[in-house]
Amino acid sequence: MLIAACPDPECGAPAEITPWAVAASTNGPVPHVRTLCVNKHRYLLPDTWVRSHDTRPVSGPSATTTTDQPTRADSLRENRS
């Protein structure tokens, strides 16, 4: 199961990501995913629109960034290669 931030700009809660389909476009195929967050927001959107869920601790000296984490779009591209 892949987890990312909810695409709803007012939510940002963890959301489950499910690969859905690949749509044709003039720039080549565009992978789409379905998202469902813990607040029941559902979306079908291009995988490049999905943000990584920030898993940093809220406070403390051990807080680290997760910018090196692969995104959902990265893992879909790897699976298609």
SS (H, E, C) 16-81: EEEEEEEECCCCCCEEEEEEEECCCCEEEEEHHHCCCCCCCCCCCCCCCCCCCCCCHHHHHHHHHC
In this structure, the strands spanning 14-23 and 2-5 are antiparallel
Over the stretch 29-78, which tens digit does the pLDDT of each residue have? 999 999 999 999 999 999 888 877 654 434 444 334 444 455 555 555 55
What are the beta bridge partners of residue 37? 15
According to the model, what pLDDT value does residue 53 have?
Answer: 61
pTM of this structure = 0.58
Give the pLDDT band (50/70/90) at residue 1: confident
Sheet of 42-46, strand order: 2-5, 14-23, 30-37, 42-46
